[in-house]
């Protein structure tokens, strides 16, 4: 490399690469951390080497609702090898991801509110000692009436789970936009339908784990965990342990999936840290699969009543919707979930009038939270189902009824959400053609059918959960003597490929090969704060910050090169590995440009930030921030099913999905995200449901909680529609969640096409489908016998 | 707890270790040998993340006793790359995005490795059958099937 500087000083242009550099964004790019994953070198939290550690274990409540009269830990503490025993009394404060709804203690205090709620924890020298210590703790809990469904909890005489929450309602939403009565009066057809949705869980394959290392000599805590949002965990550790945040370091190693389970700080993370401090050492906590199901934060059991008004032409005239969610025992993300359900219910189409009432209810079941497609999935199913029902009555094709309600961007929805790009028309066109809809629908053999649905989702919440006024995303770039660029980011790569995407963006702006870029992510001692991997915000927000950081680094490098070459920055043609003075053969290679920049300032560190524009941050009404985003993704999908009418078994034969991701920065990863989202929608639609008996989980294992295996998973053909959003980095929008919502309605619409039965309850498990088929048979028999009676009546009477 | 001395081969290296009678192969590999590529994703035999090869056959390390591997040849994800070159399955899973979060990946690749040794050119149905005990929550399996097909086609 030495002679390169020489060539530069001699005024020669360094040899240009033989082939002009290809673009980095828009290329199918394997994950930059993929090799570690396929070779087994990737270390997840449970894999981290710490030498000798203590084992942490949690004692859980056997009672669904009760007052804690006492927790006797004397015998447990006396067991040799037990280093710490803690209860709720040892925490400094309760927590909760939403600042105004912090009503959960990491270990229950005063009351227990669900079976399996953590009540005490131990750290011991080995597992057997820890288990013995748990067995020696004596709980004295006075049972209270417990409620396992929203209706029971809302009863007038129900005992309250939380003080000041009358009727066990965590949050009631009442929103109205436009003249709903006039809308229904103007409709040619009005229909109302009720729907019921089972509760579902994330089922990430990595078991929850945390390691906390406490150094008593200097009062410092380092926590390694499976979190999607290290920054919330950091705040919550400080709060619950009563520590100054500067004494805490949070590291997220490789994470084996999130899907929303890990967007909240979770009780076991704070418990592990408290145990480490109490024991004055390092504690490793690994949860069982059953404990992961108990930690929960899944999608709630939901009841929906929906009323729509349509013109003969298919135009929607009014929407009236009521949604009740069984939220479980604590607030968590609950109030956001119930707001999302209303916010995204209708904003996919042009709708002139909407009334929405939502109820988030406390029950004695494990707390629900955010799950992929947060809040909007069940509402989407109801809406797309009723649209299909009404299209049938109006003799409109399902495509036609959706095309009658399209948005023309830029557009502001009734609830003040800003739409700047809208790829639904192209999505519809593609799935219609790819599925052979026009020629095949109605022509398939009995038991086989096609169904359509559309969906959308936010590219990050335009107002973050903790609205501090700071930029929404910050990226630091470091460039040093070695010529390597390090991206320092707090964005959590949980498998979606965010680190790869950031590297692609930086490489693209600087016209450098990916090999020059390294990503250091999610270590609070090194990386800037990031709001985390939730609401599909990372590509859009952190991508925009990375774009700006790279532009700033390029500016610095170009200025330094210009100074070295004694020209103006505008005279420099920057091509990454080399740059030259326009119209001359004088130039520098990258190493020389770096050298020039370092002479001025030493190690280069630049920053890029990004914030959502105010006009995208929603309206002024209460709850308006939820649903607001700088860019909506859109999707349409057609599902082909076959239904066995003897067994009720539904097989998904094929899925065609078109997803408007704005621009695919990494088409390989975007395809993978869309396929994964569609498939996760399929799990909920076909087979997944948590179930409880008196609050006891009946399916807390991967055998009983029926995640689809590879055997029943269909081919999923993906079309990426690129609508080039004006605010997205390179026009990009989210790709991880939007396609999930439309699977379930497309499925039940297809089942209806196949066998003429409309399922209004999910999952469409064989027992439910068979029950619907038999109910129809019973009805047909009754009708037939009634008909026979009617026919006989004149004769007999 | 009683212990016994076992001799076995792990990724081609002969080993001799004292293991408790009730020690699981999964814990032996992760804790005693220090090979953390083999993952634990469930409470026993549910998810396939711990799949390893025992004498060339895919087995679940979380429901196999270490002591039962006396005299056996155990292979894990760490043993597939040779001289710094990834195996064809590893290469394919990387390039075709058969891995997202990566947690099911070691087990998935080992199950597929067992299949390809048995059936070098498997049909799609054979791939689905061979991987039916391995859950993935990220990919929807589409790119996993493509990865195995690509590896088989090399």
Q: Give residue A468's pLDDT.
A: 87
Give the per-residue pLDDT at B154.
64
Q: A41 and chain B: CB distance < 8 Å anywhere?
A: yes
Question: Could you tell me the pLDDT band of residue A791, with boundaries at 50, 70 and 90?
Answer: low
Contact B40, A207 (CB under 8 A): yes
Mean pLDDT, all residues of chain A: 95
Categorize the per-residue pLDDT at A466 as very low, low, confident or very high, splitting at 50, 70 and 90: confident
b/e code B17-36 from CB counts within 10 Å (16+ = b):
bebeeebbbbbbbbeebebb
Classified by CATH at the fold level, domain A49-144+202-295 comes out as Aldehyde Oxidoreductase; domain 4 (3.30.365)
Tell me what pLDDT residue A665 has.
Answer: 98
The CATH number of domain A301-463+617-764 is 3.30.365.10 = yes
User: CATH number of the domain at B88-153, please?
Assistant: 1.10.150.120
CB contact under 8 A, B102 and A709: no
Residue A792: pLDDT over 80: no
**Binary contact (B77, A676; C-beta < 8 A):** no
Tell me if B102 and A37 make a contact (CB, 8 A cut-off): yes
A vs B, Cβ pairs < 8 A, gives 169
First to last CA, chain A: 109
DSSP A168: G
- How far A303 CA lies from chain B's nearest CA (Å)? 26
- The band of A16, judged by pLDDT with boundaries at 50, 70 and 90, is very low
CB contacts of A499 in chain B (<8 Å) are none
Q: Is the Cβ of A52 closer than 8 Å to some Cβ of chain B?
A: no
- DSSP-derived letter for residue A263 is S
Strands (E), A688-796: 692-693, 696-697, 716-721, 761-762
Q: Tell if the pTM clears 0.90, that is, is over it.
A: yes
Report CB contact under 8 Å: B40, A207: yes
Checking if the pLDDT of A4 tops 50, the result is no
Whose CA is closest to A259, among A673, A654, A577? A673
Parallel, antiparallel or unpaired: strands A716-721 and B51-54: unpaired
**Chain A residues closer than 8 Å to B89 by CB:** 38
CA distance A228 to A131: 29
- How far is it, in rounded angstroms, from Cα A661 to Cα A725? 9
Confidence tier at A465 by pLDDT (50, 70, 90):
confident
Question: Does residue A127 sit at the B interface (CB-CB below 8 Å)?
Answer: no
Nearest to A289 among B46, B80, B143 (CB): B46
Q: Rounded distance, CA A221 to CA A214, Å?
A: 4
pLDDT beyond 70 at A20? no
Residue-level pLDDT at A787? 81
**Cα dist. A146→A112, A113, A166, A695 in Å?**
11, 8, 16, 8
Q: Which residues of B touch A669 (CB under 8 A)?
A: 97
Q: Is the pLDDT of residue A795 over 90?
A: no
d(CA B128, nearest CA chain A) in Å: 5
Residue span(s) of chain A under CATH 3.30.365.10 come to: 2-30+468-611, 49-144+202-295, 301-463+617-764
In Å, how far is B54's CA from the nearest CA of chain A? 18
- B 92-121 → A contacts, CB under 8 A: 93-95, 97-106, 109
Residue of A262, A216, A253 whose CA lies nearest to A49? A253
Closest to B62 in 3D by CA, of A63, A286, A138: A286
Q: What end-to-end distance do the CA atoms of chain B give, in Å?
A: 49
Task: Count other Cβ atoms within 10 Å, centred on residue A470.
Answer: 13
Flag if A31 and B97 touch (Cβ within 8 Å): yes
Closest CB to B99: pick one of A37, A496, A710: A37
Residue A600 has pLDDT above 90, yes or no: no
Chain B touched by A497 (CB under 8 Å): yes
- Superfamily of B3-79 according to CATH: Beta-grasp domain (3.10.20.30)
Q: Which of residues 46-85 of B touch A (CB under 8 A)?
A: 46-47, 49, 76-78, 80-81
Residue-wise DSSP of A195-217: EEE--B----SSPPEEEEEEETT
Q: What percent of chain A has pLDDT over 70?
A: 96
Q: What is the mean pLDDT of residues A92-104?
A: 93
pLDDT band at A17 (very low <50, low <70, confident <90, very high): very low
Q: Does A224 touch chain B (CB under 8 A)?
A: no
- Residue of chain B whose Cα is closest to the Cα of A40: B37
Q: Within chain A, what is the greatest distance between any pair of CA atoms?
A: 117
Question: Residue A208's pLDDT is what?
Answer: 98
Q: Which of residues 697-726 of A touch B (CB under 8 A)?
A: 701-703, 707, 709-711, 713, 715-716
Residue A8 in this model has a pLDDT that exceeds 50: no
pLDDT at A9 over 50: no
B129, A711: Cβ pair inside 8 Å? yes
Percent of chain A with pLDDT strictly greater than 90:
94
Rounded to a whole number of angstroms, the distance from the CA of A229 to the nearest CA of chain B is 16
Do B102 and A711 count as a contact with CB atoms less than 8 A apart? Answer: no
Domain ranges of chain B: 3-79, 88-153
Decide if pLDDT at A348 tops 80: yes
Provide CB contacts within 8 A for A793, sequence distance 6+: none
Averaged pLDDT for residues A217-240: 98
What confidence tens digit (pLDDT) does each residue in A674-713 have? 999 999 999 999 999 999 999 999 999 999 999 999 999 9
From the list B47, B102, B105, the residue facing A702 with the nearest CB is B47
Residue B141 and residue A713: Cβ atoms within 8 Å?
yes
Smallest Cβ–Cβ distance between A205 and the set B132, B136, B143 belongs to: B136
From the list A44, A202, A672, the residue facing B143 with the nearest CB is A672
Pick the CATH number of A2-30+468-611 from 3.40.710.10, 3.40.50.150, 3.30.365.10, 3.50.50.60: 3.30.365.10
Q: Do B103 and A669 touch (CB under 8 A)?
A: no
The answer to whether A686 and A763 are in contact (CB under 8 A) is yes
A259 touches B at CB < 8 Å: yes
Instruction: Verify whether the Cβ–Cβ distance B36 to A47 is below 8 Å.
Output: yes
Separation of alpha carbons A30 and A559, rounded Å: 33
Give me the half-sphere count of Cα atoms (radius 13 Å) on the Cβ side of residue A183.
Answer: 22
Q: Which tens digit of pLDDT belongs to each residue from A542-573?
A: 999 999 999 999 999 999 999 999 999 999 99
Chain B hits for A699, Cβ within 8 Å: none
Chain A contacts in chain B segment 125-154 (CB below 8 A)? 127-129, 131-145
Test mutation, B102, B104, B115, chain A, max A CBs within 10 A? B102
- Per-residue confidence (pLDDT) for residue A516, from 0 to 100: 96
Closest partner residue to B138 (CB to CB) among A34, A41, A495 is A495
- Give the model confidence (pLDDT) of A702-755 as tens digits: 999 999 999 999 999 999 999 999 999 999 999 999 999 999 999 999 999 999
Instruction: Reduce the DSSP state of residue B116 to 3 states and report it.
Output: helix
Of A205, A495, A678, the CB nearest to B41: A205
Distance from CA of B96 to the nearest CA of A (A): 7
If we measure between CA atoms, which residue out of A696, A685, A547, A522 comes closest to residue A610? A547
Average pLDDT over residues A500-516: 97
For residues A137 and A674, what is the distance between their CA atoms, to the nearest angstrom? Answer: 47
């Amino acid at each position: 490399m030495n002679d390169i500087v020489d060539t530069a000083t001699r005024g020669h242009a360094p040899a240009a690469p033989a082939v002009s550099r290809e673009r980095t964004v828009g290329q199918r790019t394997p994950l930059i951390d993929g090799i570690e994953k396929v070779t087994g070198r990737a270390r997840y939290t449970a894999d981290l080497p710490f030498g000798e550690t203590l084992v942490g274990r949690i004692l859980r409540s056997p009672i669904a609702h009760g007052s804690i009269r006492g927790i006797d830990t004397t015998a447990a503490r006396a067991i040799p090898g037990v280093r710490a025993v803690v209860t709720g009394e040892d925490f400094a404060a309760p927590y909760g991801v939403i600042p105004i709804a912090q009503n959960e203690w990491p270990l229950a205090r005063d009351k227990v509110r669900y079976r399996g709620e953590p009540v005490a924890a131990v750290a011991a020298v080995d597992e057997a000692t820890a288990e013995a210590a748990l067995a020696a703790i004596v709980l004295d809990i006075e049972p209270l009436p417990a409620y396992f469904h929203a209706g029971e909890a809302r009863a007038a005489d129900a005992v309250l789970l939380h003080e000041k929450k009358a009727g066990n309602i965590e949050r009631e939403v009442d929103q109205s936009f436009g003249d709903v009565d006039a809308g229904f009066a103007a409709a040619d057809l009005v229909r109302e339908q009720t729907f019921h949705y089972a509760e579902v869980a994330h089922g990430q394959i990595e078991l929850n784990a945390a390691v906390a290392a406490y150094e008593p000599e200097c009062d410092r805590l380092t926590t390694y965990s499976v979190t999607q949002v290290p920054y919330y965990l950091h705040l919550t550790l400080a709060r619950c342990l009563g520590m100054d945040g500067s004494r805490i370091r949070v590291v997220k190693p490789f994470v084996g999936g999130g899907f929303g389970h890990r967007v909240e700080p979770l009780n076991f993370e704070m418990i592990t840290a408290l145990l480490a401090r109490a024991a004055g050492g390092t504690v490793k906590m690994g949860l069982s699969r059953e404990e992961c199901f108990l930690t929960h934060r899944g999608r709630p059991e939901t009841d929906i009543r929906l009323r729509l008004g349509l013109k003969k032409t298919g135009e929607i005239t009014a929407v009236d919707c009521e949604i009740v969610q069984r939220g479980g025992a604590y607030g968590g993300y609950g109030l956001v979930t119930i707001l999302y359900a209303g916010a995204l219910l209708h904003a996919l189409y042009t709708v002139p009038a909407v009334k929405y009432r939502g109820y988030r209810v406390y029950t004695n079941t494990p707390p629900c939270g955010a799950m992929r497609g947060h809040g909007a999935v069940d509402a989407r199913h109801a809406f797309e189902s009723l649209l299909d029902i009404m299209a049938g009555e109006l003799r409109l094709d399902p495509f036609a009824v959706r095309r009658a309600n399209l948005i023309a961007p830029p557009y502001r929805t009734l609830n003040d959400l800003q739409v700047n790009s809208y790829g639904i028309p192209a999505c519809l066109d593609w799935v219609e053609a790819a599925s052979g809809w026009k020629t095949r629908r109605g022509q398939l053999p009995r038991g086989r059918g096609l169904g359509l649905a559309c969906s959308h989702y936010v590219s990050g919440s335009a107002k973050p959960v903790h609205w501090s006024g700071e930029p929404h995303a910050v990226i630091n770039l470091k460039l040093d003597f070695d010529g390597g660029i390090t991206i320092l980011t707090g964005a959590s790569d949980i498998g979606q490929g965010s680190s790869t995407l950031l590297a692609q963006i930086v490489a693209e702006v600087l016209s450098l090969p990916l090999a020059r870029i390294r990503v250091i992510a999610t270590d609070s001692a090194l990386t800037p704060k990031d709001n985390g991997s939730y609401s599909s915000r990372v590509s859009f927000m952190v991508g925009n910050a990375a774009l700006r950081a790279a532009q700033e680094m390029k500016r610095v490098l170009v200025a330094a090169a210009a100074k070295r070459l004694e020209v103006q920055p505008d005279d420099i043609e920057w091509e990454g590995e080399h740059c030259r003075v326009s119209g001359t053969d004088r130039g520098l290679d990258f190493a020389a440009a770096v050298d020039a920049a370092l002479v001025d300032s030493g190690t280069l560190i630049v920053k890029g930030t990004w914030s959502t524009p105010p006009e995208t941050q929603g309206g002024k009404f209460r709850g308006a921030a939820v649903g607001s985003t700088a860019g909506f993704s859109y999707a349409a999908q057609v599902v082909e099913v076959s239904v066995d009418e003897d067994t009720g078994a539904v097989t998904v034969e094929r899925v065609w999905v078109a997803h408007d991701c704005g621009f695919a920065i990494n088409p390989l990863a975007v395809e993978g995200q869309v396929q994964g989202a569609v498939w996760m929608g399929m799990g909920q639609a076909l087979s997944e449901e948590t179930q409880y008996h008196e609050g006891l989980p009946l399916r807390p294992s991967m055998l009983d909680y029926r995640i689809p295996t590879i055997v029943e998973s269909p081919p999923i053909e993906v079309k990426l529609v690129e609508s080039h959003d004006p605010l997205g980095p390179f026009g990009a929008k989210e790709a991880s969640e939007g396609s999930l919502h439309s699977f379930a309605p497309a499925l039940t619409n297809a089942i209806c096409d196949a066998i003429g039965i409309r399922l209004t309850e999910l999952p469409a498990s064989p027992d439910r489908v068979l029950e619907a088929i038999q109910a129809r048979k019973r009805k047909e028999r009754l009708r037939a016998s009634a008909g026979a009676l009617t026919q006989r009546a004149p004769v007999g009477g | 707890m009683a212990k016994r001395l076992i001799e076995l081969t792990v990724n081609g290296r002969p080993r001799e270790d004292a293991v408790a009678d009730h020690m699981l192969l999964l814990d032996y590999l992760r804790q005693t040998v220090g090979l953390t590529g083999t993952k634990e994703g469930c409470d026993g035999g549910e998810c396939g993340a711990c799949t390893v090869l025992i004498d060339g056959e895919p087995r679940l390390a979380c429901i196999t006793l270490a002591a039962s591997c006396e005299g056996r040849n155990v292979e894990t994800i760490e043993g597939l790359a040779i001289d710094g070159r990834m195996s064809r399955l590893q290469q394919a899973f990387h390039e075709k995005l058969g891995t997202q979060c990566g947690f099911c990946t070691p087990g998935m690749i080992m199950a597929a490795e067992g299949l390809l040794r048995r059936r070098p050119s498997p049909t799609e149905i054979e791939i689905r059958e061979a991987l039916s005990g391995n859950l993935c929550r990220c990919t929807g399996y589409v790119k996993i099937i493509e990865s195995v097909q690509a590896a088989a086609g090399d």
